[in-house]
Amino acid sequence: MTKLDVTTGSLPGSEKVFFGSDSHEDVSVAMRCIHLEGGERPVVAYDTSGPYSDPNAKIDIHKGLAPMRRQWILDRGDVVEYEGRDVKPEDNGLKSEGDQPGVEPFPRGDLKPLKSKNGEAVTQLAYARRNIVTPEMEYVAIRENEGRKEAYLRDGEPFGAEIPDVCTGEFVRSEIARGRAVLVSNVNHPELEPMIIGRNFLTKINANIGNSAVTSSVAEEVDKMVWSTRWGADTVMDLSTGTDIHNIREWILRNSPVPIGTVPIYQALEKCGGIAEDLTWEIFRDTLIEQAEQGVSYWTIHAGLLLEHVPLTVNRVTGIVSRGGSIMAKWCLHYHKQNFLWDHFDDICDIAKQYDVAISLGDGLRPGSIADANDEAQFAELRALGELQKKCMKHDVQCFIEGPGHVPMHKIKENMDLQLEVCDEAPFYTLGPLVTDIGAGHDHLASAIGAAMIGWYGCAMLCYVTPKEHLGLPNRDDVKEGVMAYKVAAHAADLAKGHPGARLRDDAMSKARFEFRWKDQFNLALDSEKALSFHDETLPAEGAKIAHFCSMCGPKFCSMRISHEVKEAAQQGMDEMAEKFKKEGGEIYKKIDAAQ
Amino acid sequence: MTKLDVTTGSLPGSEKVFFGSDSHEDVSVAMRCIHLEGGERPVVAYDTSGPYSDPNAKIDIHKGLAPMRRQWILDRGDVVEYEGRDVKPEDNGLKSEGDQPGVEPFPRGDLKPLKSKNGEAVTQLAYARRNIVTPEMEYVAIRENEGRKEAYLRDGEPFGAEIPDVCTGEFVRSEIARGRAVLVSNVNHPELEPMIIGRNFLTKINANIGNSAVTSSVAEEVDKMVWSTRWGADTVMDLSTGTDIHNIREWILRNSPVPIGTVPIYQALEKCGGIAEDLTWEIFRDTLIEQAEQGVSYWTIHAGLLLEHVPLTVNRVTGIVSRGGSIMAKWCLHYHKQNFLWDHFDDICDIAKQYDVAISLGDGLRPGSIADANDEAQFAELRALGELQKKCMKHDVQCFIEGPGHVPMHKIKENMDLQLEVCDEAPFYTLGPLVTDIGAGHDHLASAIGAAMIGWYGCAMLCYVTPKEHLGLPNRDDVKEGVMAYKVAAHAADLAKGHPGARLRDDAMSKARFEFRWKDQFNLALDSEKALSFHDETLPAEGAKIAHFCSMCGPKFCSMRISHEVKEAAQQGMDEMAEKFKKEGGEIYKKIDAAQ
């Protein structure tokens, strides 16, 4: 048996709660309820952690999560169970039939893949266009509201975003139908809790995991998935390369409460022994089917990097920095042929729509340095992605667009605006952007600056960057640092856009801060565990958690404590004293009167 | 003897170099020269670390640094050495004559304070207005150029900043005379290396250190000063409270290569046993003189928080979060009198100008939560600070303005623009701003987002926030994390503003990245040590530092390696192949021709 330990247990100070639906009785949305002290109303928060943070859930990694969506999918009557493709040795990077994978297969039992019954689109986009509000859409609507029944507050600069006071299933449907949002949900990943990506919803974040040829194992990767969703990753991309990727992916998928994305060209290239020139449409197509049957919910496909774009990269400071992009560029040049992903894009859509795999249109030419930001190569590819977006819509295939990389602050908005324009507001999904090249060791931070800004400007999902970016493969701690940096960035974006629910938790936090409710502060923090441990480094005693000061300033200099005295004095005595002082002809009270 | 260990030694891969002046033969500006491999030109970088990173310097903490500026100051002939004020027990928080301080005094020997000979202003502002380019101004000009003799590149959105291609002593003078920049340099801190704060110069950062009543010691504080300047702090504020603050400050000052700022009300309050109501102008005045004689280069003075502003804070979510602000508000309310710092502002200026202490106009009403951002309390005080700025200018006292706190992204620019308007473009110096309230444990990051943006919009100096903000007192590691976060933010701001030298290091870094010069990448990173240690976590072998891949993707998937092959192929074969293909009537080459 593969030994797999994953983190379970309630989130700090929180209870797993479930919200039902008025229209769909089988929809029950898991949420995190943060209980507060002092008679304060609890705060309901979006929860990506799945059953792992539910003490009542039985977790068995070898069985996987319950297939919550399976009945919804079957009830639609448009999919069929079938034998599926045989797993081949090369799927796990093995050279011949006799070789054994390093990672045992997930015990699927008699689980068989589903696909479209008659080749028609079984996508949320197809349903949305037929005016059907699916259970998934209803789930998403409830989830986005975080327990609100009305707007908490409207304050922000939305730059054209149109976020309603309260999200409804119908609104979710209309945004999907319009191509402005994507509900990533392969029919073969019924374990996922539906989520949505779009500028008129909460800003999402993605965490990349995956072994590389140099390091890491399946146990680590499954744990990284559970760990990253525990702290807020909305989707996870499995970027594994090397051997065992089929088996690792299956372990991840069967245990993942969030949609899983991949870059299929990585696996296809493994099947060709790493020789880009040996890539063929047939190998790639077979890989797509392999992954679709397993339950991958979105594929990054670098179909917009065209042969004619390659010369545009020759004088760049950092050339092509996307792995998939460089592979395709090499292929194109070798044969002097157009990118076969571009040529076969209709075929790709035809597969995607039969499983509801969304296509994440890859930015093979994203800039890898400030010097290359917003150059002709980048924008030429973006325009090609805009053409592919229209093809996806034609096929009823959900899609979103990948972007940024390294972009200085003053060039971020130009990126966002061009994407909105040429891609008809299809969701933008960006790496960072990093706002400087010299942040190595702190690139989670250098990129969180750009991520917060592009999120504000309209980007729907932010792909995290860890502190190890440019230097090595992230470990568990790095994954958490990356996730937290991006939770901060995404939330900052929601606040600035004026999301009608975003400030509720900030206000609860600040009120707790002003009232010295330390435990509430820890629990309301995005990183409850670190907040607690930092506090306890200096003041570990239990009593310090009710103290009206902290170690930053000590009791005498606590501005908040003094501020309470000021508030009391101002409320009680100000009027009286003012009256007295006014009678004596005090100057300053004239100013107050004038200001009022 | 106090045992004090501080970090010394060259910065990674770097040499301390000195740049002379054509006009001032006694000016020699220390800079950091980062040597590169592969025949690349070295990169000259701004260096705040002082003699500690110079292997040829003799460091003796008990003697302090060499008083480089002393002769320049004496040569002006406008200051006089005098006996100075006696150190009193209460300066160190002691109750009576017999008590012994916990920290022994720094051995001053026969060092006596200097002050203005005849009460006239001996400030850089006064000289600038008399058209004198002081050695300090010349030093700053050379320093700002980082070895450049021309603009490296002009690219950015300056939002009204007017940064010249190359900085000259005359430009520095004109900016100071205009009140748009401040050269903080108390005549009693001749050890400091002159630096300038202003929107038309490199964006600066400040690190706060200082013990609190709850924790830390003198050894730690001096080390934190050396440590924070090693990584890039341009100024350091000593926010010590409790006992021994006079002695701790002296140790810091005598050993500091950067200007030291304080908040004098903290010490004044200590002298009153922590009772705000017992504060008097006399105690405050005496504290100013005490600190001016020691060499403090700037004081945060909360003179713009007026009695009439206090009621504006009553309905705030987090009231008054500035320590100095809350103390003054309490005092004002207790007596129902106007803030005595406002009433005595001319007297304060009169002291400041005799030592060239700059006044940092404190924002006692900065918002402590997103809910309170940009409210009437905050902006009413900012307008009062604008009035005080004009008073400073009248007295030839250098000044800058403190701002932000917690501000969501969409309200940052409004802050900056109002400050520029009401304070005549006097330098803005902001804490963060934090763009959300729920980042506890990661508030260095939550605030670096806001800091980068406000720096871009025109803020001259960014006051760092450490990961311990809101939770506890930062230790050495936290100080470094805070400094690095702010170096990233400040540099990102310089890039976005289009500072003509900013991108040089980014481009050198990216070129090193593309050429797999790993050691150069580590050395060019803002945090050279962390970059190296992260890389070595996975690939510690010396050979990996010349490898054409890293542990992120492994050799097979290295986009940069493939990119080199693509570049070669594109350069060598593209034309030839294109020719061939064109003859055969290839579609895509028509597009290339059209694009050219």
Per-residue pLDDT reduced to its tens digit, A164-186:
999 999 999 999 999 999 999 99
At B197 the pLDDT is 98
pLDDT at residue B594, rounded to an integer = 45
**B433 → chain A, closest CA residue:** A492
The token pair at A280 is 């063929």
What is the distance between the alpha carbons of residues B563 and A409, in angstroms, rounded to a whole number?
26
Over residues A540-594, the pLDDT tens digits come to 787 777 777 666 666 666 787 888 888 887 777 666 666 665 666 554 444 444 4
Res. B13 pLDDT band, cuts 50 70 90? very high
Which pLDDT belongs to residue B133? Answer: 98
State the CB neighbour count (10 A cutoff) for residue A197. Answer: 28
- Chain A environment of B278 (Cβ under 8 Å): none
Query: Residue A2: which pLDDT band, with cuts at 50, 70 and 90?
Result: very low
A334 in a known ligand binding site: no
DSSP state, residue B314: T
Kindly state whether residue A576 falls inside one of the protein's structural domains. no
* Gyration radius of chain A over CA positions: 26
Q: Is residue B10 part of a domain?
A: no
Buried b (16+ CB within 10 A) or exposed e, B249-264: bbbbbbbbbbbbbbbb
Query: B566, A521: Cβ pair inside 8 Å?
Result: no
Q: Rounded CA gap, A553 and B265, in Å? A: 14
Question: Is pLDDT at A291 greater than 80 in this prediction?
Answer: yes
CATH code of residue A396: 3.20.20.540
Whether the complex's predicted ipTM surpasses the cut of 0.85? yes
Query: Strand pairing partners for B404?
Result: B431
Pick from B534, B548, B589 the residue to mutate for testing the A interface (most A CBs within 10 Å): B534
B155 → chain A, closest CA residue: A410
Evaluate the omega torsion of the peptide bond into residue B540 and state whether it is cis, within 30 degrees of 0. no
| β partners of residue B308 | none
CA–CA distances in Å: residue B518 to residues A440, A443, B12, B513, B528: 11, 16, 13, 7, 11
CB contacts < 8 A (A, B)? 466
Task: Report yes or no on A74 lying in a domain.
Answer: no
pLDDT at residue B1 in the model: 36
Partner A, chain B 211-270, Cβ-Cβ below 8 Å: 212-215, 241-242, 266, 269
Q: Would you tell me which residues 291-350 of chain B have a C-beta closer than 8 angstroms to some C-beta of chain A?
A: 306-308, 310-311, 313-314, 317-323, 325-327, 329-330, 333-334, 336, 338
Domain that holds residue B113: 85-497
Q: What pLDDT sits at residue A160? A: 97
Annotated binding site of B for substrate: 208, 237, 266, 302, 322-324, 363-366, 402, 429
Residue A390 in any domain: the answer is yes
Closest residue of A to B452, CA-based?
A: A449
- Residue B540: which pLDDT band, with cuts at 50, 70 and 90? confident
Q: Is residue B544 part of a domain?
A: no
pLDDT band at B11 (very low <50, low <70, confident <90, very high): very high
Which residues, other chains included, contact B36 with Cβ-Cβ below 8 Å and sequence gap of 6+?
B42, B43, B508, B512, B517, B520, B523, B524
Q: Of B401, B485, B473, B484, which Cα lies nearest the Cα of B209? A: B473
**Secondary structure, 3-state, A41-97:** CCEEECCCCHHHHCCCCCCCCCCCCCCCCHHHHHHCCCEEECCCCCCCHHHHCCCCC
Give strand pairing partners of B402: B429
Q: Which of A310-314, B93-97, B156-160 has the lowest mean pLDDT?
A: B93-97
Please answer yes or no on whether B510 and A368 come within 8 Å at the CB atom: yes
Pick the residue of B330, B343, B471 with the most A CBs within 10 A to test the interface with A by mutation: B471
Q: What is d(CA A460, CA A463) in angstroms, rounded to the nearest whole number?
A: 10
Domains: count for chain B: 1
Interface test with B, best of A237, A270, A330, A409 (most B CBs within 10 A): A409
Flag whether A243 is in a domain.
yes
Does A562 reside within a domain?
A: no
- Residue A129 or residue B215, greater confidence: A129
The answer to whether residue A228 is domain-embedded is: yes
